């Protein structure tokens, strides 16, 4: 935050004084300064993930094919706009675009985010656009518990949640697990899968690289039971790339 201007002190003296104003700011200068301050109050970040396939809570959305998922964030104070997409190289198509607006706040070790997402599925026949609101909560304590709850009030007409635990070792390797749950989301209720994940982050050629490997375990439960409903178990390998400023 810029410091408030200090008023110049005028000393009383018996000698005559001459007051001269040099370089007085014009209205145009003030407007330009205000515009520059406003623009510099925004920050932007970009990353991209190359994955062996697109798994949503263990459900394969790319028929086992590799995907590229770019992610752009623009923030102004606690408010962040996010644009995320899924590109499937074997089809040559972008088949999902998610646009989000969210607000974040932190109190001591507890961080929370709430927001809205508009989801669109171009080049996916029969997939209707949808909308959801969400809330994320994380606590900076051992095992770093997180909880994410999304409520789809449009085409999905239900909710999906993720409960996560993770721990970083030697500031390099992170081991974690995610438990997924759905409630009437596109007509399905139950636990689609549990993810066990290992990742590592390191700098390389002006970038931050995070390779990771996940195993998704499943079992019959609720609506995810029986032939055609139980989610197959499987592996996911990915590489996240963040350009370093």
pLDDT score of 23 more than 60: no
Q: Does a structural domain hold residue 115?
A: yes
What tokens appear for 229 in the block? 């409903």
Q: Does a structural domain hold residue 121?
A: yes
Instruction: Please state, in angstroms and rounded to a whole number, the distance separating the CA atoms of residues 222 and 34.
Output: 58
Q: Stretch 147-151: mean pLDDT, rounded?
A: 98
Average pLDDT score over the chain: 89
pLDDT score of 68 more than 90: yes
Q: Stretch 170-189: mean pLDDT, rounded?
A: 96
Q: Does a structural domain hold residue 17?
A: no
Q: Give ∠ CA 52-57-62 in degrees, rounded to 5.
A: 40
Q: Stretch 95-119: mean pLDDT, rounded?
A: 98
CATH number of the domain encompassing residue 185:
2.40.160.40
Instruction: Please state, in angstroms and rounded to a whole number, the distance separating the CA atoms of residues 183 and 162.
Output: 12
Instruction: Please state, in angstroms and rounded to a whole number, the distance separating the CA atoms of residues 87 and 73.
Output: 18
Instruction: Place 22 in a pLDDT band, splitting at 50, 70 and 90.
Output: very low
- What is the tally of structural domains in the chain? 1
Q: Stretch 113-135: mean pLDDT, rounded?
A: 97
Q: Does a structural domain hold residue 100?
A: yes
Residue 31 pLDDT: 76
3-12, 51-60, 103-112, 185-194: segment of lowest average pLDDT: 3-12
- Taking only Cα atoms into account, the Rg of the chain, rounded to an integer number of angstroms, comes to 25
What tokens appear for 50 in the block? 């190359």
Instruction: Place 1 in a pLDDT band, splitting at 50, 70 and 90.
Output: very low
Strand partners, 116: 101, 133
pLDDT score of 183 more than 90: yes
Q: Does a structural domain hold residue 120?
A: yes
Secondary structure of residue 38 in the 3-state scheme: helix
Q: Does a structural domain hold residue 3?
A: no
Residue 3 pLDDT: 41
Q: Does a structural domain hold residue 22?
A: no
Which run of H or of E encompasses 27?
Answer: helix 27-40
The whole model's pTM is what? 0.84
Residue 227 pLDDT: 83
pLDDT score of 122 more than 50: yes
Q: Does a structural domain hold residue 158?
A: yes
pLDDT score of 18 more than 50: no
27-36, 84-93, 120-129, 158-167: segment of lowest average pLDDT: 27-36
Instruction: Place 14 in a pLDDT band, splitting at 50, 70 and 90.
Output: very low
In degrees and rounded to multiples of 5, residue 218 shows phi and psi of -135, 165
Backbone φ/ψ region at 46: left (φ over 0), alpha (ψ -120 to 50), beta? beta
Instruction: Place 173 in a pLDDT band, splitting at 50, 70 and 90.
Output: very high
Of the chain, the percentage scoring pLDDT greater than 70 comes to 89
Domain assignment of residue 239, given as a range: 37-243
């Amino acid at each position: 935050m810029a410091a408030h201007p200090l008023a110049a002190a005028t000393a009383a003296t018996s000698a005559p004084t001459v007051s001269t104003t040099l370089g007085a700011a014009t209205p145009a200068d003030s407007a330009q300064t205000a515009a520059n301050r406003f623009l510099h109050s925004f920050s932007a970040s970009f990353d991209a993930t190359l994955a062996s396939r697109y798994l949503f809570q263990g459900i394969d959305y790319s028929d086992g094919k590799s995907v590229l998922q770019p992610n752009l964030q623009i923030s102004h104070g606690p408010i962040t706009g996010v644009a995320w997409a899924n590109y499937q190289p074997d089809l040559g198509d972008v088949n999902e675009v998610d646009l989000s607006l969210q607000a974040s706040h932190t109190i001591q070790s507890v961080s929370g985010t709430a927001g809205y997402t508009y989801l669109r599925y171009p080049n996916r026949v029969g997939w209707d656009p949808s909308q959801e609101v969400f809330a994320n909560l994380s606590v900076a304590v051992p095992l770093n518990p997180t909880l994410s709850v999304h409520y789809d009030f449009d085409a999905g007409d239900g909710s999906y949640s993720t409960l996560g635990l993770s721990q970083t070792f030697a500031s390099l390797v992170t081991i974690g697990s995610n438990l997924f749950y759905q409630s009437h989301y596109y007509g399905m209720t139950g636990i689609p899968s549990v993810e066990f994940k290992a990742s590592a982050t390191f700098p390389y050629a002006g970038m931050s690289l995070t390779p990771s490997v996940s195993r998704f375990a499943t079992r019959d439960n609720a609506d995810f039971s029986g032939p055609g409903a139980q989610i197959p178990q499987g592996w996911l390998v990915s590489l996240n790339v963040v350009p370093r400023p």
